[in-house]
Amino acid sequence: MSSETKYSVCTICDIGCQLRSEAEGGKVKRVIAHDNPMLASNICFKGVAAPSIHNHEDRIRTPLKRVGERGEDKWEAISYEQAMTEIAERLKTVVDEYGPESFAVSTSGWNTQTTHATDRRFMNLLGSPNWISGVSLCAGNTAAVNKLTYGWFPMGDFGNANCIVLFGHNPRKHSWTPIYNQLNAARKRGAKIIVLDPRVSDQAEQSDLHLRVRAGTDAAMCLGWLKVIFDEHLYDEAFVRDWCVGFEELKARVDEYPLDRVEAITGVDQALIAEAARMYATADGAIIPWTPITDMQISSTSAIRLHSILRAVTGNLDVVGGETLGGFNQSYIPESELALHQALSDEQKAKQLGFDDHPAYTYRVAEMLKDQTEKVWGYPYADIVMGCHMANPSNVFRAMATGDPYPVKAFFVLGNNALMSYPNQHQILKAMMNQDLIVAHEIFMTPTAMLADYVLPGDVFTERNHIADSWSWTTRLALSQKIVEPPEGASSTFEFWRDLANAFGFGEHFPWGTLEELLDYRLSRSGRTFADFEQAGYMEMQTPEFRKYRKTGFATPSGKVELSSSILDELGFDPLPYYREGPALSEAYPYAVFSGVREDPFFQTGQRNIAELRQRCPVPSIFIHPTDAEKEALVEGDWVKIQTAYGEVTAKLAVQASMKQGHLRVPHGWWYPELRGKVALAGAFLSSDAVLCSDDDEFLDHEQGIPHFKGYPGRIIKTQKPADFESSAYAVGS
Amino acid sequence: MTQRGAVRHRLLELKASVMVRVANRLFTFKQTGLDGYIKRLMLKQPSKRERVGPSKPA
């Protein structure tokens, strides 16, 4: 039997490693390393497991229609055509009764990849602004907040940086693998690594400086660094003078954070704080790469802005070895354009949930930045990492559950286990139970899909052609080739939205018959087709241009780096960064719970049904310091519950000296596919961290409205192994 | 960063641009002419083990 090998961009996680896929007899057989030595080490065991995922017997292969009660997980198989006809009719009914804003979509671009913004395009033509995504907690929100300060979301120049600062970020061989490899390369050539993490992580062990910061206090730490940098004149005075506004106001704010105060907040010795600040500020090229940790804190907007400010005042913005503002790739039409954001009226944009109370990543800010964005970057909407035109998820789920401020009655989820991907899982369940129409587009039957009216099977990266562009975060284009056919009943997200658009009479805006025609369109700016691109090579990068601001200014209202944000000021928020203490610990809930932890074998809520990955981590573990374990009379391997005022999670205990005392770590996204049919929603409420954290205002960042996942109050108690686990092949006997 | 002068900025920027141009040539499939020469020069043939890649979990 003949086999063939093609180039792939892996989508098992969000990092997008370039690999090769081998197929034989119409099936993917192996995923192997790239043949270019520069890319060959970018592979992890999740990518290697792709054939087991893509060929899995439980993969959804036929469109399904609910026949039981919602969530009962009873289905009949129907044709794709019948499914799309009925979905379109039912969506029209909802829109006619409640208006287009009653339609919400939740998706993960990491998983679906080939939407090409056709979801936003359809929604904008229909009139709905209520698109949400997990990127509201992870990179997308960082992109939007970065734009407040200098109008784009930079990418660190790992190859030339001499100092790299990791705020809780812990890339490992099998998690964020390319970043792990870049860190190792930087370390080898002598770059300094500073890690800020409550625990002794893998990266912390190898760091030059490790600051064991108390969880959730990143903003205070950054203010302390600025205090040192300003007091010791370690900033780029010429850049600050010529290209920044609000320096004196910022300096006055920073003076409110002397190092003894910062030490008291963060728990880090002030001499170490000062040493780290000096190391960062005096390096000839330093970066603070994006981190998911700062994305999910009660002072997240301030902390992300403080990263931006540190980059700017130390002269590390848009320079070699610093963090570059790439702009749009000039040869590939970006999703920002494909989305047709200009087609959505101002009136509908103003209805976006979150627009009024938590506007940082909504249309409200996007519209305020529009003119300068067009002037600097050539197009008014810059939706970097999909995160700059979003509704607020908590507001959307509240509206779905209660009808406040208006009803949301149709909810589509694509490649996204929404039930478990946002805070306050209880409210999300209530919201989904209150829907007239739920459509899931998925490859496996997730707890979210179990709540749907229709489940449409999706495709995977070996079954479709694609050119990955990092959603404009970088200017790199990477080839991903189709090597096998998708299941007969499967559709790409592009096909799903195109067919729905045709049913709604938007066909003229969706003129592409195939995904390849859409790729041809996206490449048309460079006079090429997908076939041309595929023939030429597997990757191309735009020649970098540094310090572009000297020609164009920055894409902010002032045209400069806004140390004091005019947009936040106009919106009624504090224009200067600040530190806000998270919810207080108490006698009843004495531990700082740190959730959202990523385990190497899994990406978010996925892959628990993949044996070769699950065997690496059969059950979830809650991590605790030995002293705390002793105090609670707990030992390694005990079954325990973490409880908060909002919910509880059951898992096994892992006692680790690397933990910081007073902290508990909870992994993200656990459910039990093997319990499907035995336990409601396959155990989605047994061990999911999303039940623990509230989305009441007390728990939310003001400007974005994102939750405080890093250090909320909880307690730990011993429990018995849950009876529900008795039928699990993975948890038995333990 | 404050110690980097204008000349050093320019030199580093020039080097970065050249490196991207060279890298782009390495990422094409072309094996002849200058592209092929650059590939042969810069991409040493990996060992057999590296060519196969880590097909099993490490």
- DSSP letter string over A262-288? HHHHH---HHHHHHHHHHHHHSSSEE-
Both A525 and A620 in a single domain?
A: no
Both A400 and A534 in a single domain?
A: yes
Q: Which residues of B touch A284 (CB under 8 A)?
A: 1, 3-4
Q: Which residues of A touch B9 (CB under 8 A)?
A: 319-320, 546-547
The residue type found at A160 is N
Q: How far is the alpha carbon of B30 from chain A, nearest alpha carbon, in Å?
A: 7
Give the HSE-up count for residue A173: Cα atoms under 13 Å, Cβ half-sphere.
4
Distance CA A299, CA A217 (A): 8
- pLDDT in the model for residue B48: 53
CATH code assigned at A317: 3.40.228.10
Both A508 and A375 in a single domain?
A: yes
Q: How far is the alpha carbon of A690 from chain B, nearest alpha carbon, in Å?
A: 30
Both A607 and A501 in a single domain?
A: no
Alpha helices in chain B (DSSP H): 6-26, 33-42, 48-52
Checking phi first, is residue A633 left (phi over 0); if not, alpha (psi -120 to 50) or beta? left
- Does residue A53 belong to any structural domain of this protein? no
Residue showing tokens 């459509």: A439
* Residues in B 34-53 with any Cβ partner in A closer than 8 A: 43-44, 46, 50-53
- pLDDT in the model for residue B53: 45
φ/ψ (deg, to 5) at A605: -95, 10
- Does residue A567 belong to any structural domain of this protein? no
Distance CA B2, CA B16 (A): 20
- pLDDT in the model for residue A655: 98
* Residues in A 308-327 with any Cβ partner in B closer than 8 A: 314-316, 319-322
Q: Which residues of A touch B5 (CB under 8 A)?
A: none
- Does residue A551 belong to any structural domain of this protein? no
- Specify the length of chain A in residues: 734
Cis peptide before A405 (omega within 30 of 0): yes
| Maximum CA extent, chain B | 49
Both A503 and A630 in a single domain?
A: no
- pLDDT in the model for residue B3: 74
User: Per-residue pLDDT tens for A169-214?
Assistant: 999 999 999 999 999 999 999 999 999 999 999 999 999 999 999 9
Q: Which helix (H) or strand (E) holds A467?
A: strand A466-468
Based on the number of CB atoms within 10 Å of its own CB, is A335 exposed (0-12), middle (13-18) or buried (19 or more)? buried
- pLDDT in the model for residue A1: 60
Q: Looking at the predicted structure, is the pLDDT value of residue B55 above 60?
A: no
- Does residue A14 belong to any structural domain of this protein? no
Q: Which helix (H) or strand (E) holds A5?
A: strand A3-9
Q: How far is the alpha carbon of A164 from chain B, nearest alpha carbon, in Å?
A: 13
- Neighbouring CB atoms inside 10 A of A88's CB total 16
Both A350 and A473 in a single domain?
A: yes
Q: Is A520 helix (H, G, I), strand (E, B) or coil?
A: helix
Q: Please choose, from the candidates A445, A350, A447, A455, the residue with its C-alpha nearest in 3D space to the C-alpha of residue A412.
A: A455
- pLDDT in the model for residue A731: 59
Q: What DSSP string describes A209-236?
A: EEE-PPTT-HHHHHHHHHHHHHHTT-S-
Distance CA A380, CA A362 (A): 15
The residue type found at A428 is I
Distance CA A421, CA A593 (A): 17
Both A308 and A347 in a single domain?
A: no
* Residues in A 450-489 with any Cβ partner in B closer than 8 A: none
- Does residue A27 belong to any structural domain of this protein? no
Distance CA A111, CA A721 (A): 33
Where is the domain boundary, A510, A525, A540?
A540
Nearest chain A residue to B5, by CA: A284
Consecutive 10-residue runs of chain A (734 residues): their mean pLDDT?
90 95 96 93 97 97 97 98 98 98 92 89 98 94 98 97 97 96 97 97 97 96 98 97 98 98 98 98 97 93 98 97 96 97 98 98 98 97 96 97 98 97 96 98 98 98 96 96 96 97 98 97 97 96 96 98 98 98 96 92 96 96 98 97 96 97 96 95 96 90 94 96 79 49
Delimit the domains of chain B by residue range: 1-33
CATH code assigned at A125: 3.40.50.740
> From the centroid of its chain, how far is CA A280?
26
Q: Which residues of A touch B20 (CB under 8 A)?
A: 541-544
- pLDDT in the model for residue B45: 58
Both A387 and A313 in a single domain?
A: no
- Neighbouring CB atoms inside 10 A of A311's CB total 26
* Residues in A 510-539 with any Cβ partner in B closer than 8 A: 535-539
Between CA B26 and CA A396, with CA A472 as vertex, the angle to 5 degrees is 145
Q: Please answer yes or no on whether B54 and A48 come within 8 Å at the CB atom.
A: yes
Q: Please answer yes or no on whether B23 and A284 come within 8 Å at the CB atom.
A: no
Both A316 and A386 in a single domain?
A: no
- Specify the length of chain B in residues: 58
Q: Which residues of A touch B7 (CB under 8 A)?
A: none
A vs B, Cβ pairs < 8 A, gives 108
Q: Are A566 and A249 in contact (CB under 8 A)?
A: no
pTM attached to this predicted model:
0.96
Q: Please answer yes or no on whether B1 and A316 come within 8 Å at the CB atom.
A: yes
Give the HSE-up count for residue A367: Cα atoms under 13 Å, Cβ half-sphere.
17
Q: Please answer yes or no on whether B28 and A537 come within 8 Å at the CB atom.
A: yes
- Does residue A702 belong to any structural domain of this protein? yes
* Residues in A 253-282 with any Cβ partner in B closer than 8 A: 281-282
Listed in sequence order, the residues at least 6 apart from A587 whose beta carbon sits closer than 8 Å to its beta carbon are: none
Nearest chain A residue to B28, by CA: A537
A638 is catalytic: no
Distance CA A302, CA A221 (A): 11
Q: Are A304 and A145 in contact (CB under 8 A)?
A: yes
> From the centroid of its chain, how far is CA A92?
31
Q: How far is the alpha carbon of A34 from chain B, nearest alpha carbon, in Å?
A: 8
Q: What DSSP string describes A582-625?
A: -SPP-SSS-EEEEEEEPPTT-STT--TT-HHHHTTS-S-EEEE-
Q: How many domains is chain A built from?
A: 3
Q: What DSSP string describes A317-343?
A: BSSTTSEE-----TTS--HHHHTTGGG
Of B1, B13, B27, nearest to A537 by CB-CB distance is B27
Distance CA A537, CA A467 (A): 11
A285/B contact by beta carbon, under 8 A: yes
Locate A149 and state its tokens: 């300060």
Distance CA A313, CA A502 (A): 50
Nearest chain A residue to B55, by CA: A32
* Structure confidence at residue B38 as a pLDDT band (50, 70, 90): confident
- Does residue A558 belong to any structural domain of this protein? no
Q: Are A410 and A401 in contact (CB under 8 A)?
A: no
Based on the number of CB atoms within 10 Å of its own CB, is A187 exposed (0-12), middle (13-18) or buried (19 or more)? middle
**What b-and-e string marks burial along A154-170, b requiring 16 or more CB atoms within 10 Å of the CB?**
bbbbbebbbbbbbbbbb
Q: Please choose, from the candidates A110, A127, A131, the residue with its C-alpha nearest in 3D space to the C-alpha of residue A119.
A: A131
Q: Which domain holds residue A177?
A: 156-322
φ/ψ (deg, to 5) at A318: 60, 40
φ/ψ (deg, to 5) at A238: -65, -45
Q: Which residues of B touch A322 (CB under 8 A)?
A: 1
- Interface with chain B: mutation pick from A311, A320, A535, A602, highest number of B CBs within 10 Å: A320
* Structure confidence at residue B52 as a pLDDT band (50, 70, 90): very low
Q: Please answer yes or no on whether B50 and A235 come within 8 Å at the CB atom.
A: no
Where is the domain boundary, A475, A510, A540?
A540
- pLDDT in the model for residue B4: 87
Both A311 and A353 in a single domain?
A: no
Based on the number of CB atoms within 10 Å of its own CB, is A17 exposed (0-12), middle (13-18) or buried (19 or more)? buried
